[in-house]
Structure 1
Amino acid sequence: MDQRLYVDVHLIQTVPPANLNRDDQGNPKEAYFGGHRRARVSSQAWKRATRTRFAAHTPQQDHATRTKRIAAELATRLAARTGLEIEQATRLATALLQPLGIKPGKKAGDTAYLLFFGYRQLEDIIDLVADQATDLTALEDEELAKAVKDLPVADQLQQGHPMDVALFGRMVADIPALNVDAAVQVAHALSTHAVDLEFDYYTAVDDENPKEETGAGMIGQIGFNSATLYRYATINVPRLTANLGDADAALTAVDAFIEHFARSIPSGHQNSFAHRTLPSLVAVVVREDQPVNLVSAFEKPLLPEQEGDGLAADSAVRLAVEHDRATRQWGDVPAHVAVCHTFDPDAHTGERLTTILGTNTPFPALLAGLHTTLATHLGQAR
């Protein structure tokens, strides 16, 4: 499919004091942008949060995992399916994976790098040997290696990808045949305003201390900040369709990604800060030219005003204006634009957003409208 079709997802989300994504010092990640220090949440952290939410809302057989323990996982499933003892199942699993040329890790049974694959793909590998597993494990090592060498094990990892592998891709540097090009790109989330790092100095009381003993049983500190974040991701719909091998499956994956990306949040220090929020604005833009990140809207940081609609509202308007200006100046005409926000539709911010981006749409309706638009485009491309 040569058609270019992208879905850009833009979000404005306010997070209270939190430490969503730690650096090597244990403090919230930050970045300089526009000459000012900003709060930052890495793309990896939000992709992990999105994948975790996928797993909580999809059947287990459709799950994927990223691990160095593919041999152990395959062996466990082999034993469960065939009745083999775990030692024999491990031997057979190792033999099945050996022709792939996956480099071993430092620990016995581990691979040298994380592999991203679906549980259903492992079951497909097991299907290749399930009926003869007992006979195969009775062979000597050399005979076993010869017996399984030509089985299409690699083929099972190159097809039938679960949704999150199709979306986020798989990179195996020394085995290019196992690579899956990602259909989704996720930007690092940045605050729309400057931030300062703060610290929570905390103490914990020993409940069993005698009354005459005072003082804390433990003391410590946690770095934190609070921010209104601009989050951005883009979906390459033709790539996603190719990865899944089916247009309808790709449409379902787009729906799922936007649903879980919007509702997910990294869980760092969640128990300490209870920082889970939902976005104040979600905008989707379907483009037929190229993805466009609108972070330039916040190159000049927003300043909190004593009287105004607040940082979230001001960020939403700044984003909408940047989208409008870029569209006009570059002559781009998006195939579809829709917005869902929580601002008063009759107040200043709501009116500006309606004027620029269109009518405020409930989130389920936003997804449904996007689904219809993409289905039309994909149908025309067939």
Structure 2
Amino acid sequence: MSPTLYVDVHVLQTVPPANINRDDNGDPKEAFFGGVRRSRVSSQAWKRATRQYFAERNPTGADAVRTKQIAGQLAKRLHQRHALGEEQAQRLANAVLQPLKIKPGRKAGETAYLLFFGYQQLDAIIDLFAEEIPELVELDDTALAARLKGLPVQEALSKGHPLDVALFGRMVAEIPALNVDAATQIAHALSTHSVELEMDYYTAVDDENTENTGAGMIGTVGFNSATLYRYATLGIHQLEHNLGGADATDDGARRFLDAFARSMPTGHTNSYAHRTRPSLVAVVIRADQPVNLVSAFENPVALREDDTDGIAEKSACRLAREYGIAVRQWGDEPVLAAACHTFAPDSKAAEAVEGVFGPNHTFTELLDRVHQTLRSARENA
């Protein structure tokens, strides 16, 4: 079993004019921090982007789904595995899930809330009664419900979690036994500097209109640009508990770090083509508690007329200083501190980052160091 370890991920990423996470007015989300308005990307937006990133790159396809249609998904698996007709499969799926007493939604066939589960867990449920399917489909509704009442369906949903569920957890208020404590926490991304909302006035031309020069459509959309500080923490001990194996945990940690660093929410992506890569990814493995370093930017970063460094470089210096002070003052030397950055080798930012996080690594080398450190910590525990 892994010792108590937290993998903190600190990311600085500059995003050009964009609207990647909208509020209820359709404008980019913002937050008031350090006395000024900041650009903000919600934790939910980046969690979803992270989940989608590694689901798309999983060779076996998506491991998990979050939906109100668990009965429909189970019926689909029954149809695929046992060639049942759609009506028979749906009837059987409804009867199997009935003992869970999941609150129904407003629409037929839906639950009142989203459920997060793995497809392999649905297969495990089917395995509980697969050999009896020819007999079960011949029973009437009352006899079918009585026959399936004692199946350990809840137990099947409480183990064998896919990585998605193990990382982000599952909350079912009405059925606490189905809850899964999340192994990761993701903070709202904040700009390291003050940001002002701008409006994009756009028009669209009717290609077939040759009679006048007016626009076929006129509209506005809000946008901003920002250097964001992004933070996430991963509890290795909790991830191993959820997954039930050391190898799966090490692989899961690597996949999460890769996906979190490379992912990007896709709001208005066709309009702004805003996808960038981080300027800095710093990883700190700690044995005491997670530490968010957003306090480095409570005083917003600002540029003077004579500055030769940009916002990203000045933000990196701030982050490095905050981390160095925190370690020195609190005396909590980490298990590992390492970073990957894209700053010029002779820049102030490179000097500051490497002064506290060590030599610059490629991103692959950084992932390798994390993997090796986690394995060594487990072996030495």
Please tell me whether the aligned partners of residues 345 and 360 of structure 1 are also in contact (alpha carbons under 8 angstroms): no
Q: 2: CA distance between counterparts of 1:61 and 1:324? A: 41
Q: Which residue of 2 aligns with 1:240?
A: 239
Deviations 1:305-333 (A, max 9, x none): 33221000111110011000011001111
The one-letter code of the counterpart of 1:288 is A
Q: Which residue of 2 aligns with 1:215?
A: 214
Please tell me whether the aligned partners of residues 340 and 363 of structure 1 are also in contact (alpha carbons under 8 angstroms): yes
Q: 1: CA distance between counterparts of 2:126 and 2:217? A: 51
Counterparts of residues 22-61 of structure 1 (less than 5 Å): 22-60=22-60
Q: Which residue of 1 aligns with 2:255?
A: 256
Shift of residue 54, structure 1, vs aligned partner:
1.3
Please tell me whether the aligned partners of residues 62 and 162 of structure 1 are also in contact (alpha carbons under 8 angstroms): no
The one-letter code of the counterpart of 1:333 is E
The one-letter code of the counterpart of 1:292 is V
Q: 1: CA distance between counterparts of 2:62 and 2:203? A: 44
The one-letter code of the counterpart of 1:365 is E
Please state whether the residue corresponding to 1:38 is helix, strand or coil. strand
The one-letter code of the counterpart of 1:289 is D
Q: 2: CA distance between counterparts of 1:194 and 1:350? A: 24
- Give the number of equivalent residue pairs: 380
Deviations 1:41-71 (A, max 9, x none): 0000000000011111113455110000010
Please state whether the residue corresponding to 2:338 is helix, strand or coil. strand
Q: 1: CA distance between counterparts of 2:293 and 2:348? A: 22
Please state whether the residue corresponding to 1:104 is helix, strand or coil. coil
The one-letter code of the counterpart of 1:265 is M
Q: 2: CA distance between counterparts of 1:289 and 1:2? A: 14
Q: Which residue of 2 aligns with 1:197?
A: 197
Residue 152 (structure 1) aligned with residue 156 (structure 2): no
Counterparts of residues 66-105 of structure 1 (less than 5 Å): 66-105=66-105
The one-letter code of the counterpart of 1:237 is I
Counterparts of residues 1-382 of structure 1 (less than 5 Å): 3-60=3-60, 63-210=63-210, 212-306=211-305, 307-381=307-381
Deviations 1:112-155 (A, max 9, x none): 10000111111111112222212101111111111111111111
Q: 1: CA distance between counterparts of 2:61 and 2:208? A: 48
**Aligned-residue identity in percent:** 62
Please state whether the residue corresponding to 1:103 is helix, strand or coil. coil
Q: 1: CA distance between counterparts of 2:62 and 2:166? A: 12
Please tell me whether the aligned partners of residues 313 and 348 of structure 2 are also in contact (alpha carbons under 8 angstroms): no
Shift of residue 30, structure 1, vs aligned partner:
0.2
Shift of residue 77, structure 1, vs aligned partner:
1.0
Q: 1: CA distance between counterparts of 2:42 and 2:260? A: 14
Shift of residue 346, structure 1, vs aligned partner:
2.0
Q: 2: CA distance between counterparts of 1:314 and 1:120? A: 47
Please state whether the residue corresponding to 1:21 is helix, strand or coil. coil
The one-letter code of the counterpart of 2:269 is Q
Please tell me whether the aligned partners of residues 2 and 246 of structure 2 are also in contact (alpha carbons under 8 angstroms): no
TM-score, with structure 1 as normaliser: 0.98
Please state whether the residue corresponding to 2:125 is helix, strand or coil. helix
Deviations 1:321-363 (A, max 9, x none): 1000011001111010000000011222212221222100100
Structure 1 segments unaligned to the other structure (5+ residues): none
Q: 2: CA distance between counterparts of 1:351 and 1:3? A: 33
Shift of residue 38, structure 1, vs aligned partner:
0.2
Please state whether the residue corresponding to 1:337 is helix, strand or coil. strand
Please tell me whether the aligned partners of residues 317 and 348 of structure 2 are also in contact (alpha carbons under 8 angstroms): no
Q: Name whichever of 68-77 and 343-352 sits farther off.
A: 343-352
Q: 2: CA distance between counterparts of 1:156 and 1:245? A: 14
Structure 2 segments unaligned to the other structure (5+ residues): none
The one-letter code of the counterpart of 2:92 is L
Q: 1: CA distance between counterparts of 2:319 and 2:109? A: 49
Q: 2: CA distance between counterparts of 1:342 and 1:18? A: 22
Please tell me whether the aligned partners of residues 15 and 225 of structure 2 are also in contact (alpha carbons under 8 angstroms): yes
Please tell me whether the aligned partners of residues 167 and 240 of structure 1 are also in contact (alpha carbons under 8 angstroms): yes
The one-letter code of the counterpart of 1:227 is A
Shift of residue 202, structure 1, vs aligned partner:
0.1
The one-letter code of the counterpart of 1:226 is S
Please state whether the residue corresponding to 1:143 is helix, strand or coil. helix
Q: 2: CA distance between counterparts of 1:16 and 1:80? A: 45
The one-letter code of the counterpart of 1:26 is G
Please tell me whether the aligned partners of residues 194 and 301 of structure 1 are also in contact (alpha carbons under 8 angstroms): yes
Q: 2: CA distance between counterparts of 1:125 and 1:50? A: 28
Please tell me whether the aligned partners of residues 191 and 227 of structure 2 are also in contact (alpha carbons under 8 angstroms): yes
Q: 2: CA distance between counterparts of 1:108 and 1:262? A: 39
